[in-house]
Amino acid sequence: MNPESPTRDYLPLEERRERLLDAALAVVADAGASALSLRRVAERAGVAHRVVTYAFGSKQALVEAVLHRASQRALDAVWTGDLPLDDFAEAVRLSLHGLARDLRRHESEYRVVSELTASARAHPDLRGAAQSEIAASVRAIAASIERWSAATGRTLNTPTPVVAAALRASVDGLVEWWLSSRDDRALDDVVEVLAFAFAGREAGQGGVHHSTS
């Protein structure tokens, strides 16, 4: 009998879920997104299949949890401490540079998550997991913008959900471009260009206004 089994089996649910999500990322890293299954995750984590089933219930729920956690971790790394700046475009610029640093530091995880996301989008049964992560991420970015607005007393001349979606699109584009090109010399310059798109978005700055009707 494995003396470690009782400890592993009686972990608090949240800690157990975290370990299972780590195992899921390891499965994708080692064998590709198509190899991901509740059974493979159980084998990788060294637990019974029923443990993974109890924690997530389905492959879609597992994939959704992996994507949500990765998205939240990246947001936490990128947005911490930047948005209270008075200048919104400068806050975005610093945040995107934070993303660039995080991307360099955790390249392997970004690659795994990118592969899993692409696989989920292409699979009818998993597409909802990818869409759920996008929606949650945009809401989280919008909440960050609202906190910036409350802290600075400033507002944007473009609806917050639109700006949040544009920021998420910028993040996705930056990540996929860098993972494909691995062009470290251009990365910071590309960030500067992306950040410039958010200049003049504060009310009263006279930026370019686009109708949303």
CATH number reported for the structural domain that contains residue 135 in this entry: 1.10.357.10
Q: Are residues 48 and 80 located together in one domain of the fold?
A: no
Average pLDDT over residues 121-126: 95
Q: Are residues 63 and 98 located together in one domain of the fold?
A: yes
Number of domains in the chain: 2
**Per-residue pLDDT reduced to its tens digit, 81-111:** 555 578 899 989 999 999 999 999 999 999 9
Q: Are residues 47 and 67 located together in one domain of the fold?
A: no
CATH at 16: 1.10.10.60
Element (H, E) at 91: helix 88-105
Residues 163 and 145 sit within 8 Å (Cβ to Cβ): yes
Any domain includes 199? yes
Q: Are residues 45 and 149 located together in one domain of the fold?
A: no
Average pLDDT over residues 65-82: 84
Any domain includes 191? yes
202 pLDDT more than 50: yes
Candidate from 32-41, 83-92, 157-166 with smallest mean pLDDT: 83-92
Q: Are residues 19 and 120 located together in one domain of the fold?
A: no
d(CA 20, CA 9): 12
- Grouping H, G, I as helix, E, B as strand and the rest as coil, residue 178 is helix
213 pLDDT more than 60: no
5 pLDDT tier (thresholds 50, 70, 90): very low
Residue with tokens 């996008």: 134
Any domain includes 18? yes
Any domain includes 213? no
Any domain includes 91? yes
In sequence order, which residues have a C-beta less than 8 Å from that of residue 206 and are 6 or more positions away?
Answer: 200
d(CA 23, CA 108): 14
Q: What angle (nearest 5°) sits at the alpha carbon of residue 109, between those of residues 105 and 112? A: 145
Residues 78 and 33 sit within 8 Å (Cβ to Cβ): no
Q: Are residues 14 and 91 located together in one domain of the fold?
A: no
Q: Are residues 105 and 180 located together in one domain of the fold?
A: yes
Mean pLDDT of the chain: 88
Q: Are residues 74 and 117 located together in one domain of the fold?
A: yes
d(CA 45, CA 22): 8
151 pLDDT tier (thresholds 50, 70, 90): confident
Average pLDDT over residues 62-67: 97
- What range does the domain containing 15 cover? 10-57
Looking at residue 132, what is its pLDDT?
96
- Residue 81 tokens, joined: 């401490």
Give this prediction's pTM: 0.84
Q: Are residues 47 and 65 located together in one domain of the fold?
A: no
Q: Are residues 169 and 65 located together in one domain of the fold?
A: yes
Residues 63 and 133 sit within 8 Å (Cβ to Cβ): no
CA distances from residue 12 to 15, 18, 20, 58, 120 in whole angstroms, order as listed: 5, 10, 12, 20, 29
Share of the chain above pLDDT 70, in %: 88
Q: Are residues 71 and 35 located together in one domain of the fold?
A: no
